[in-house]
Structure 1
Amino acid sequence: MQTELAQIEVSPHVRPMATWEVRLPWFCAIVVGLGGVVLTAFGTGFSQARGLDEPTATYAQAAFVGASALIGLVIMWRTRPTLAGYGFRRPRAMADALWAIPLAALPVILVASAPIAVAASQALAYVVLAIAVSFSEEIWFRGLLLASLRSLGRRRAVVGASMVFGTLHLTNLFAGGEPTFVGLQFAFACLVGFVLAELVEVTGSLWIGIVWHILYDAVAFSIGDSLSRVTLVAVAAMTAVLVGYAVYLWRRLPNDTQFGQA
């Protein structure tokens, strides 16, 4: 497998991004996606098998997810180019991305939909888990997975990465998740993954997704999996915001014909 920076000459805002040249990019993307959830699944199983109390179980899961993030970073380092090529750099073209304001509205909507009622010790554990999850998912799904598909064109890479990201959320069914909630989670994860992948392509950076993921997940963990009428209204509102934002960002992606071959 060869890795390099795709050369794009379309705008001073567009940055070369890490691109893997592989024979079977879709197969590679699926393997990368599975690699990003293996330790997370082990962490959940470990906590359940040991019968840990809630804060301890949360910290244990955070440790497994954090290890997954570190493995992803090592893969980035070993495959080359630099971490900056995968998106660990300051974002650009923030005006084109509307300064991520639509994305920032989501945790606000979520807070308004349900009260946060957890003990301080558990809230801290959720924050630690949110940090681990944010780095792990952005490294694997918006860093490595996008790189594995980018040779097909940025638009195809965005669509493929979002589908893999959403589909892997269906594994929550095996963890005892309620089917209706898991179905909603799948659709919402596909949409979130789509927008986050677009932001990487528009700004050339993973940091927007990482920061947003920390904020959103910390709130989501703290309010639980309620399916009340208010929560469903909040989900509908967030979905409307994401759809509008996705359409806006799609129009600002470099054309696949301008992408060229890495």
Structure 2
Amino acid sequence: MTGRHVGMNRDYWNGMADDWVEPGRLAWGSPNVNWGIWRNPETEVQMLPEDMRGMDAIELGCGTAYIAAWMARRGAKVTGIDISSGQLATARELAAEHKIDLTLIEGNAEETGLPDASFDFAISEYGAAIWCDPDLWLREAWRLLRPGGRLVFLGNHPLVMACTPWDGAKCEPTLHRPMRDMRTFDWSEVEIDPGGFEFNLSHADWMKLFAEIGFTIDGYLELYAPPDNTRDLFAISGTWARDYPSEQVWKLTKPL
């Protein structure tokens, strides 16, 4: 069953697609792999296998598909899926420009329609990691992965959600929202910078869900802004993010 958030987020990202053409172009053309809003380097975050030759990989919520391109350059056969036709138009244009062969599908990462056990590796940077229902997209990732396959994803740290004022202003060193039963965040009608519909969980609830599905946890990272950062990005205060983690990375495996 398709939730209300799916159509809401499709409309939001189609409306935003033009704003992400140039960032997508820059990421496709960059010689470096960097992650998240603070561009933490792959040498520190280590989200991708160094050698992906012979691997089937999928990016869940691929947007302009620059991560799919990074994986293809490491030797993987890559599929990207995204709900936004506008984002995928940019991805297809850049794939043709860079002569990189990707399979790009317009669809919902919560129910891809792809065959069981099709992939060795799955990844989401934001994308499905925050815009899709975790009860659905994580189970779909499990279904898509072969035994021994890995899932890594990066999204907002739950502390960001707890410290964001109810009007949508930038996060503060004050708790505004409860951690208990944290799950859904409808930003469509907030006063400041209205957006789409996001999901997040407390750490304990993430781990409970992984265990229910069957994933084992290989690693977890909390990401901060650089120590000298003063820039505000999106709803994240640049000074706040020097002292508090604004992003998280989960690294999971589907056991053999």
Higher radius of gyration, 1 or 2? 1
Larger strand percent: 2
> TM-score range, shorter-chain basis?
under 0.3
Q: TM-score, normalised by structure 2?
A: 0.24
Q: Which has the higher contact order (CA 8 A, sep 6+)?
A: 1
